[in-house]
Amino acid sequence: MKAAIIGGGVIGGGWAARFLLNGWDVAVFDPDPDAPRKVDAVLSNAQASLPALSDTPMPEMGMLSYATSLADAVRDADFIQESVSEQLDLKHRVYAEIQRTAPDTPIGSSTSGYKPSQLQEGATNPATIFVAHPFNPVYLLPLVEVVPSPASDAALIESVKETLRGIGMYPLHVRKEIDAHIADRFLEAVWREALWLVKDGIATTEEIDEAIRMGFGLRWGQMGLFETYRIAGGEAGMKHFLAQFGPCLTWPWTKLMDVPEFNDELVDLIAGQSDAQSGHHTIRELERIRDGNLVGFLRTLKERDWGAGRVLNAHDARRRETLVQPDAAGAPMVMAHMQVLPGWIDYNGHMTESRYLFASSETTDAFLRHIGAGLDYVEGGHSYYSAESHIMHLGEAKLGDRLTGSIQVLSADEKRLHLFIRIERDGAPVATIEQMLLHVDMKAGRACPASPDVLARLMPIRDAHAALPRPETTGRHVGQRKS
Amino acid sequence: MKAAIIGGGVIGGGWAARFLLNGWDVAVFDPDPDAPRKVDAVLSNAQASLPALSDTPMPEMGMLSYATSLADAVRDADFIQESVSEQLDLKHRVYAEIQRTAPDTPIGSSTSGYKPSQLQEGATNPATIFVAHPFNPVYLLPLVEVVPSPASDAALIESVKETLRGIGMYPLHVRKEIDAHIADRFLEAVWREALWLVKDGIATTEEIDEAIRMGFGLRWGQMGLFETYRIAGGEAGMKHFLAQFGPCLTWPWTKLMDVPEFNDELVDLIAGQSDAQSGHHTIRELERIRDGNLVGFLRTLKERDWGAGRVLNAHDARRRETLVQPDAAGAPMVMAHMQVLPGWIDYNGHMTESRYLFASSETTDAFLRHIGAGLDYVEGGHSYYSAESHIMHLGEAKLGDRLTGSIQVLSADEKRLHLFIRIERDGAPVATIEQMLLHVDMKAGRACPASPDVLARLMPIRDAHAALPRPETTGRHVGQRKS
């Protein structure tokens, strides 16, 4: 699949990175000779952060090319995304030129302000032009507002939404076109109020940022406005909340009926305060800090399958379907594919010690699911518990390394399961783990035989693995000299 | 220390929980007979989440009592927080009654709308009354807007800010009083715009929430408005951003100059959409989901020492100072105090396997810092690497359990360090770890002698520990039968 990215700034670069890292080829067109440098900078940020969101191996990255003409960029493209500056006549000229080469290809616009019907004016094929408004950083934030006009092709819009889901995004279908769509109307409202607070000397830019990120900003990353207020209403419900707070609306709190005069004095005031607040970090540093924080937030939501985390889990599930399943037996079974994430790194820059055991647990858990002793089985009151483990550290895994976890069954009976786990990078072990598990009745708190179903799946693997060479580090105690 | 909480709703309950879990005694006064039930519900939520933010042991929880009169509640209190409903005359009556018993005690008000000068009107001692406006959930979100008036006692305000830091909050000193302080002005602006979008049929409550939490909400949890836009401006800086986007301010995007008519039709529309969106969860479930997400976000920021995470790290550091230091030698040295956090739990409800090794690493890291081989030493190019570990699982740690990690040096020479780590709960081991570490030259990638300074601290401990009994599980291999 090929995406054409028209306009190579921060937003265009973000789109390019998202498509590339999801396996699409990308052709960028931007007459600015500085565009490749800008796109590469965004791509480098994306490569440092986006893979950390994935719990399945990423596809091979697509090919990035810089086209020398708009026609070359859009030829054979499956999707075209326009991110040129916010001038309507410029956008119209771009669409006319695109449609001379690619009259039927979907054209999304990153515009934050224009309505799709404005974009479509005078086009050869208005039905293929729509708003696909993303949020910076485009490679990490899932939201994209998809806004059609009445002239849009409904089937094309549905297929566009599927394309956007395919690169891990959350397309929010805005059913009625409106200036600035939805999210930016809120940003605009807050921005105006913030300018007043700075201008009137009530708060500095730093104080305003703290007022947001120490409080309601944290709430809004995981629930929006209404769900948050629903909770505030308590068991009495949303109507109670509305009855209580509705009247406040007429209080003369906000100054939003006015627009502050945007003169040099205000610009200097804001820019000066912003320098004092953030000037000790370069923009590149701030981007990396922001991206690290966003990855952490998104992983939090992933663990809980909530909000943006649900979008990421669905994206993983879609990718996992295309992965090969482990071979049944006769060789150590590759049960887990992992990538070393930023949160797995210690102050030495290496994968932190306990993560080797974590990788082992992921592998063992996948094996237990494979033999029918997964979550459902545990909910029935039985489980395999680790009794004892021996870890040999044989190499140093680093950020971004792709690891596999494989299982060799050393021995097994009704109650005991003796495993050898290899954590490998490029076929060479970085750690091995020898482990004894006991099958337990969780309620009684003691060992008991596994169910016949589990044993029926486990024993053929044990028998097949009996023919494998025994790993030389088994039966070893800590500090034992090599023989 | 004793706090008096006047008004026992969701906000008063949140204050009570925050003070209690930080070791203060709390007296609540609220004439509503249902208040104890409400406060207990909030406290139960707080107990399930707040300890998960702490990396140092929490202090013993304070005593909670329900006073039968306002005078009883405030007598001998060090801090009084008023969270009664938003009626100015009621607040005035409450302050008058408080000051008959406690004329000099600081009185913070949770008011979201009134200015401190309004609260102070007619008071016996206006200088002690100020705004301390928190954000729900009060026990998790650090922000509290502290707003004095010109009549306030500046020294008292400084001491109040120190008190609030002492319970883990971030006091934002609002220098000029203004209706609704700072943060709620933004919430009000967004709320009005959201009501218009729902009323005009542009978006449902659910679509608005997704527009927030899939995009800019995630940004605002870690940087505010200005730092985010500073990045958007790129290397060209804040002035460039302002020049580019300033003119948009006069575009007719938001409808905020108007207030929608707040009639039954609008209330029904919003309440109905909210039910469709969130009605499959009870309010209690939503609270738990929200708190879990917030804990995850806050721990993300803690790991990066950024935003709200810095506040929490500073709070931990303050508490850590009061902890006893480990005894130098002659017995296994207790090096780490830990509490089992929600993120450490597996689907069995027990501490997940790899966290036992994590607890061991925390203990070893503290020991390495103790002998002068901490982060500074690593930055000089040398470090101790784990070569091999053997874990015995001896018990099941559960959510909230307090664990200690102790070190016994089994043997040590210039290059090798053989440790035995006990992870204990109430003095009984839940796991032991036998571990061999090698001292390495990180650049050369091979073992080398530790520095004389490190050895000078390590060897006396080794010699003292030589007299300790050798733990019976040392030298054991996986699956070895007990002798």
- Give CA angle at A229 (A226, A232), nearest 5°: 160
Alpha-carbon gap, residue A424 to A356, rounded angstroms: 11
Map residue A52 onto helix, strand or coil.
helix
DSSP B116-181: HHHHHTT-SSGGGEEEEEE-SSTTT--EEEEE--TTS-HHHHHHHHHHHHHTT-EEEE-SS--TTT
The Cα of B125 is separated from the nearest Cα of chain A by a number of Å equal to 26
Omega of the bond leading into B137 within 30 degrees of 0 (cis): yes
Alpha-carbon gap, residue A334 to A137, rounded angstroms: 35
Omega of the bond leading into B332 within 30 degrees of 0 (cis): no
Q: Helix %, strand %, coil % for chain A, to 5?
A: 45, 20, 35
Cβ contacts of B434 on chain A, cutoff 8 Å: 478
Map residue B398 onto helix, strand or coil.
strand
Lowest mean pLDDT among A99-108, A243-252, B260-269, B469-478: A243-252
Question: In this predicted model, what pLDDT tens digit does every residue of A369-417 receive, in sequence order?
Answer: 889 898 779 889 999 999 999 999 999 898 878 899 999 999 999 999 9
Q: What is the set of domains in chain B, with CATH numbers? A: 2-181 (3.40.50.720), 184-280 (1.10.1040.10), 326-465 (3.10.129.10)
Nearest to A222 among B262, B293, B434 (CB): B293
Give the residue among B256, B93, B278 at the shortest CA–CA distance from B204.
B278
Alpha-carbon gap, residue A218 to B92, rounded angstroms: 33
Q: Which residue has the tokens 């703290």?
A: A210
| Sign, CA torsion A69/A43/B245/B201 | positive
- Asked if the interface predicted TM-score (ipTM) of this complex is over 0.95, the answer is no
Give the residue among B55, B67, B86 at the shortest CA–CA distance from B16.
B67
Burial B33-69 (b: 16+ CB within 10 A, else e): eebeebbebbbebbbbbbbbbbbbbbeebbebebbee
DSSP A364-409: HHHHHHHTT-SHHHHHTTEEEEEEEEEEEE-S--BTT-EEEEEEEE
Cβ contacts of A186 on chain B, cutoff 8 Å: 190, 193-194, 211-212, 216
The Cα of B75 is separated from the nearest Cα of chain A by a number of Å equal to 31
CB B188 within 8 A of CB B180: yes
Q: Do B393 and A386 touch (CB under 8 A)?
A: yes
Give the residue among B80, B101, B99 at the shortest CA–CA distance from B1.
B80
Alpha-carbon gap, residue A456 to B229, rounded angstroms: 60
Higher-pLDDT residue of B241, A169: A169
Q: What is the pLDDT of residue A445?
A: 87
Half-sphere exposure (CA, 13 Å, Cβ side) for A157? 23
Q: Do A347 and B477 touch (CB under 8 A)?
A: no
Q: What is the pLDDT of residue B328?
A: 53
The Cα of B24 is separated from the nearest Cα of chain A by a number of Å equal to 23
* Nearest residue of chain A to residue B350 (CA atoms): A385
pLDDT band at A253 (very low <50, low <70, confident <90, very high): very low
Cβ contacts of B208 on chain A, cutoff 8 Å: 182, 224-226
Map residue B479 onto helix, strand or coil.
coil
CB A98 within 8 A of CB A80: yes
Which two tokens mark A101?
């080469």
Best residue of A182, A200, A383 to probe chain B, by most B CBs closer than 10 Å: A182
Q: What is the pLDDT of residue B175?
A: 94
Burial B237-249 (b: 16+ CB within 10 A, else e): ebbebbeebbebe
Q: Do A479 and B475 touch (CB under 8 A)?
A: yes
Give the residue among A221, A279, A274, A283 at the shortest CA–CA distance from A42.
A283
Q: Do B289 and A306 touch (CB under 8 A)?
A: yes
Eight-state DSSP code of residue B215: I
Cβ contacts of B355 on chain A, cutoff 8 Å: 354
Which two tokens mark B139?
């026990």
pLDDT band at A165 (very low <50, low <70, confident <90, very high): very high
Best residue of A110, A354, A386, A474 to probe chain B, by most B CBs closer than 10 Å: A354
Q: Which residues contact B118 (CB under 8 A, 6 or more apart)?
A: B88
CB A25 within 8 A of CB A4: no
Q: Is the pLDDT of residue A483 over 70?
A: no
Which two tokens mark B437?
């570490």
Nearest to B209 among A141, A225, A273 (CB): A225
Other C-beta atoms closer than 10 Å to the C-beta of B418 total 19
Lowest mean pLDDT among A156-165, A336-345, B430-439: A336-345
Alpha-carbon gap, residue A448 to A188, rounded angstroms: 63
Nearest to B300 among A250, A293, A361 (CB): A293
Alpha-carbon gap, residue A396 to B376, rounded angstroms: 21
CB B46 within 8 A of CB B17: yes
Cβ contacts of B182 on chain A, cutoff 8 Å: 197, 202-203, 207-208, 211
Q: Do B347 and A435 touch (CB under 8 A)?
A: no
* Nearest residue of chain A to residue B303 (CA atoms): A343
The Cα of B8 is separated from the nearest Cα of chain A by a number of Å equal to 14
What are the beta bridge partners of residue B419? B409, B435
Cβ contacts of A436 on chain B, cutoff 8 Å: 478-479
- Average pLDDT value for chain A: 88
Best residue of B38, B200, B213 to probe chain A, by most A CBs closer than 10 Å: B213
Q: Do A393 and B386 touch (CB under 8 A)?
A: yes
Best residue of A84, A170, A214 to probe chain B, by most B CBs closer than 10 Å: A214
Alpha-carbon gap, residue A49 to A167, rounded angstroms: 15
Q: Do A136 and B230 touch (CB under 8 A)?
A: no
Question: In this predicted model, what pLDDT tens digit does every residue of B277-324 receive, in sequence order?
Answer: 888 888 878 888 888 889 889 988 887 788 888 898 888 877 766 655
- Report percent pLDDT > 90 for chain A: 57
pLDDT by position in tens, chain B (length 483): 999 999 998 999 999 999 999 999 999 999 999 999 999 999 999 988 887 787 666 788 999 999 999 999 999 999 999 999 989 999 999 999 999 999 999 999 999 989 999 999 999 999 999 999 999 999 999 999 999 999 999 999 999 999 999 999 999 999 999 988 999 989 988 888 888 888 888 999 999 999 999 999 999 999 988 888 888 777 666 777 776 665 555 554 444 555 556 677 777 777 788 888 888 888 878 888 888 889 889 988 887 788 888 898 888 877 766 655 555 557 888 888 887 876 677 655 688 889 999 999 989 988 998 898 987 798 899 999 999 999 999 998 988 788 999 999 999 999 999 999 999 999 899 999 999 999 999 999 899 999 999 999 999 999 999 989 999 888 888 888 765
Alpha-carbon gap, residue B341 to B103, rounded angstroms: 42
Q: Which residues contact A185 (CB under 8 A, 6 or more apart)?
A: A178, A179, B193, B197, B253, B254
| Sign, CA torsion B370/B374/B376/B378 | positive
